[in-house]
Structure 1
Amino acid sequence: MFRKKILRLVITFILLFCICGAKSLSPREMDLNTIKLILDKYHPNPYINISEKEFLDKIKKLNGTMTNTQFYYGLRELVSLIEDSHTSIDFINSQTKYETIHALDFAIAEFDNKWYLFIANKDNEKLLGQELLLINSTTIQAAFEKALKIIPNDNIFWAKNNFSNTINFQEALIYLGIASPNEPVILTLKSKDGKISKMETAAYSSEQINQMNIVQYQPKIYAPTQLKKNYYYWANPLRNQTFFIQYNICRENPQFPMDEFAKTIKQELKKNKYKKIIIDLRYNTGGNSEVISPLLKMLKDQQNIQKFKVYTLIGSSTFSSAVLNTWDTKTILNSTLVGTPTGGNINHFGEVRSVQLTSLPLVMNYSTKYFNIVPNYTKGAIYPDVKVNQLLEDYNNGIDSPVEWIIIQ
């Protein structure tokens, strides 16, 4: 294996030397060399979904005349060919990102396979919650299909999770052929009663970003099980003898270690006759997969005594170690998976390292290990036993659709 790696690196160096010529390398050529050499040396299998020749052909195309933003999105498209969510190109920080590309004043959210305007400029507040049909003349479905080539992903569900934060940059839409330079980006929206409206977006530079007067769609009431962003994990009883646990990041809260959290939950379970336990992993994008172990062990012990049923909520933001934890709840607690497919796959690349590039303030994150947790598992994601989409009407009325399905069982 080691000799094959060395041989591949030698061949890569020769090929890249031929591509770039004997002259001294430009910063962009150096970055392309770095990307290829790093992937060949450290990534477990960069050519599992694309041939090495196709990858090199793409590198050749990136040696042409491009603007900085075209080169950035070209690099994103290059590494996206690997189809590894953990291997990606991004700016070193948000400040440099907004100094290089222009943010558009909108964001969208998916409900029941449709996309809705969820963030907009204050002047367009009345359009919040309307269905997005077109970006300029491109349908939203066609826009998603175009955007796939610059979103590193293991599956389409992770791509959907990152779709909004990809297309709300002016240069991304230009690169994808959805918008043209020096022309406005126009959204076509449809209200609940079928009325069609047009919304012109504005592009903001880094100097203007703090001047954005942004508003977000607000439901009439929030569900009690909504995401609590500042909580690693938390729990509350619900109606109908149901107990709810939300686990948002695979990381130990130093102020409230998982051991202590599990003991607190155990006391609550012993005092009450809960019939259903919900573990919510919908917003968990990963970390250390072992952190949840004390909670799972305690739940297994109590399940043997109290005979309660366990349900695990999953969705497109369930990623990396949270996917492993999804599998843990299934195998350890015999949980029923409810929601939508996970953004990550049970077998996946990971153990990420980073290298900084030179031509732009960019960093390449790359996987160094393949986790083959369930041999021969080929579905691309973990699919729910019961698929329940979150409905916009439910969201607006403070109803968590998947949770509600569990409660009424």
Structure 2
Amino acid sequence: MKPISLFFFLFFAIYCHAQIYWPNDLAYLKTELPKRHQNLFFKLPKKEFNATMDALIKESMTLPKIVIGVRLQQLMAKIGDSHTGIRLTKFIDTSKVIPIFVHWFDDGFFITHTTETYKEEIGSEIVRINNIPIKTVADSIATLLVQDNQAMNKSYLAGYFCLPELLIYFGFIGTDEKVIFQLKKENEIFEKEFTVGGVKKLNVELPIEKKRIGDQNRRAFFWEKYIEADSIYYIQYNRCFSKESEKKYGNRKRAKKYPSFKKFQKKVFATIKEKPINKFIFDMRYNGGGRAVVARGFIEKLKEVEKINQKGKLFVLVGRSTFSSAVINAMDFKEQTNAIFIGEETSGNPNYYGSARSFKLPTCGVRVWYSAKHFKYAEEESNSFLPDIAVPVYFKDIITGKDAAYEAVKAY
């Protein structure tokens, strides 16, 4: 694992330096969001939305910014659309953080990145914060997230543990600069005091023995590898973007920096023709979306390749970070091919509100995101796309480099 910049996870928080008049900004949101969203009240009753906004508008001039942000995001979460919301970190002082990054594995919450000061705590499981069970903390933070499925929580929830201002809001810690964590490492439970402060980079990472194949090149838009020992052709598809799609639908200048999926596809099908392939893997576990059209031509062509499109030979890996357009592509595989799906349930679901747009609140400049379209790709309503074979992600597997999903393909 590479060192992680805290600001990458905190969205480069920008403060509102101009004079802010919250009643006007919130009233603007109350009016604009229902007008712009494709169907804002598909889940949350309009009466509840208006009553909550009216109460917040009335109290806003006496409330701290963090309180306004949390209450606003909790309302957004109730709307039930994961493409609609605010960036809560715009309301939080992110110059003061607890110097850790936490990941939610199926066997617990573990510290995966920290600073040199706390290097002995790397790899520890968090049992309690300030003597409060971690489940209690997680349940409160979950109110900030759309509760379509557990995958959404697993993807984003643990990232908030490093924000003391948020933990103070929920009453888990005091206002001093010290936070006590109860940790577990090598079956020993102990306490560790963390100092809140300014941290630019978490440069101490997990001492992993080797990288899992799924973690070897996650920054690449897409890449491929023929694994001769297993006769497996592995494709990882991390972003639904390409030079061609960006040139046609997006920013032509940015398109110059993007890789060509057309060239990539040509290489993949050449390899399919040349190599003996026992199993073919298309890995979308870390694909957060983009434009579904990028991979659709690839899938349509692959379904015609008898050598690959067979039950027990074609596998698609999905997980908690599979979202939006990547879920659409998963549905494409399901409807058009004989693929077997392995991994975790996805954060996104086949029928969803998306095509995200945004507008700014007038005085504070906070951006509000909303869905402009509704997409329906499944006849039955579902809160997630479920794999045929569920494979949990355990902390120990990350350390040893075992890719359980890849191993499940091998064992099939």
Q: Is TM (by shorter chain) over 0.5?
A: yes
Shift in CA distance, 266/67, structure 1 to aligned 2, threshold 3 Å: same
- The corresponding residue for 2:43 is 49
Alpha-carbon shift at residue 383 of structure 1 (Å): 0.8
Cα distance in 1 between the residues matched to 2:80 and 2:150: 10
What's the offset of the Cα at 1:375?
A: 2.8
Summarize the Cα distance change of 1:240–1:78 in structure 2 as closer, same or farther, 3 Å threshold.
Answer: same
Three-state SS of the structure 2 residue aligned to 1:346 is: coil
> Which secondary structure does the structure 1 equivalent of 2:74 belong to?
helix
CA 1:359–1:153 in 2, change beyond 3 Å: closer, same or farther? farther
Q: Which contiguous aligned blocks of 4+ residues in structure 1 show a shift greater than 6 angstroms?
A: none
SS at match of 1:225: helix
Check whether the contact 2:38–2:374 (CA below 8 A) recurs between aligned residues: yes
CA positional deviation for 1:303: 3.1
Structure 1 position 31, deviation (Å):
1.8
Q: CA deviation at 1:180?
A: 2.5
Q: Secondary structure at the match of 1:125?
A: helix
Task: State the shift of 1:320 in Å.
Answer: 0.4
* 3-state DSSP of counterpart to 1:286: coil
| Distance apart, 1:100 and its partner CA | 5.7
SS, match of residue 303 in structure 2: helix
The CA distance in 2 between the partners of 1:298 and 1:120, in whole Å, is 45
Distance 1:227 1:33 in 2: 47
Match 2:124 to one of 109, 113, 130: 130
**Secondary structure, counterpart of 1:302 in structure 2:** coil
* CA distance in 1 between partners of 2:92 and 2:199 (Å): 8
State how 1:168-183 maps to structure 2 within 5 Å. Answer: 168-182=162-176
User: Which residue of structure 1 lines up, in the alignment, with residue 370 of structure 2?
Assistant: 366
TM-fit CA distance, 1:152: 3.7
Distance in 1, matches of 2:393 and 2:304, equals 32
Q: Indicate conservation of the 8 Å contact 2:103/2:159, yes or no.
A: no
Match of 1:244 among 212, 220, 234: 234
Does residue 1:106 correspond to 2:95, yes or no?
A: no
Q: Deviations over 1:244-265 (max 9, x none)?
A: 1000000004554212111101
Contact 2:92–2:165 (CA under 8 A) maintained in structure 1: no
Which residue in the other structure is 2:3 paired with? none
For 2:326, the aligned partner's letter is: A
Once the two structures are superposed, what CA deviation does each residue of 1:44-98 show, in whole Å capped at 9, x if it has no partner?
222222222222232233232211122122221121110111001127xx8x677
Give the one of 65, 68, 92 matched to 2:65.
68
Whichever residue aligns with residue 281 of structure 2, its letter is I
Asked if 2 retains the 8 angstrom alpha-carbon contact of 1:258 and 1:295, the reply is no
Note the 1:149-188 alignment, pairs <5 A.
149-152=143-146, 154-182=148-176, 184-188=178-182
Task: Kindly provide the amino acid, as one letter, of the partner of residue 55 in structure 1.
Answer: F
Q: 1:33 aligns with which of 14, 27, 32?
A: 27
Q: Does residue 351 in structure 1 map to residue 348 in structure 2?
A: no
Whole-angstrom CA distance in 1 between matches of 2:235 and 2:308 = 19
Look up the match of 2:74: 77
Tell me the equivalent position of 2:395: 392
Q: TM-score, normalised by structure 2?
A: 0.85
Work out the CA distance in 2 between the residues paired with 1:373 and 1:29: 40
In the alignment, which residue of structure 2 is the partner of 1:257?
Answer: 260
- Aligned-partner SS, 1:236: strand
Task: Confirm or deny: 8 A CA contact 1:323 1:382 kept in the other structure.
Answer: yes
CA distance in 2 between partners of 1:337 and 1:213 (Å): 35
Matches of 1:71 and 1:97 in 2, distance apart?
A: 8
Work out the CA distance in 1 between the residues paired with 2:217 and 2:316.
Answer: 17
Q: CA 1:241–1:79 in 2, change beyond 3 Å: closer, same or farther?
A: same
SS in structure 1 of the partner of residue 335 of structure 2 = helix
Equivalence for 2:319: 315
Alpha carbons of structure 1 residues 49 and 177: separation in structure 2 relative to 1, 3 Å: farther
Structure 2 Cα separation of the partners of residues 27 and 303 of structure 1: 63
Q: CA deviation at 1:235?
A: 0.5
Residue 184 of structure 2 corresponds to residue 190 of structure 1? yes
Distance 2:372 2:393 in 1: 35
Q: Deviations over 1:138-169 (max 9, x none)?
A: 22222121111112453331122111222321
3-state SS of 1:323 partner: helix
- Give the secondary-structure state (helix, strand or coil) at the position aligned to 2:341: strand
Structure 2 distance, partners of 1:267, 1:389, is 34
**3-state SS, counterpart of residue 236 of structure 2:** strand
Matched, 1:333 2:337: yes
Identity over aligned pairs, percent: 26
**Preserved CA contact (<8 Å) 1:107 1:120:** yes
Residues 1:173 and 1:61: Cα distance change in structure 2 (over 3 Å)? farther
How far 1:403 moved relative to its partner?
A: 0.5
Distance verdict in 2 for CA 1:305–1:80, change over 3 Å: closer
AA in 2 matched with 1:89? I
Greater CA drift, 398-407 or 28-37: 28-37
CA gap of 1:139–1:299, structure 2 versus 1, over 3 A, is same
Q: Which position in structure 1 is the counterpart of 2:15?
A: none
Q: Distance in 1 between matches of 2:145 and 2:130?
A: 21
- The alpha-carbon deviation at position 294 of structure 1 amounts to 2.9
Mapped to 2, the partners of 1:288 and 1:328 lie a distance apart of 13
The alpha-carbon distance between structure 1 residues 249 and 54, as it changes in their structure 2 partners (threshold 3 A), is: same
Structure 1 residues 156 and 120, CA gap change in structure 2 (3 angstroms) = same
Superposed displacement of residue 216, structure 1: 1.7
Deviation, structure 1 residue 113: 4.0
Give how far 1:326 is off: 1.0
Q: Is the 8 A contact 1:28 1:358 kept in 2?
A: no
Superposed CA deviations along residues 194-242 of structure 1, whole A, max 9, x for unmatched, are: 21122222333xxx333x5641213111123315233100010123221
The DSSP-based 3-state class of the residue aligned with 1:245 is strand
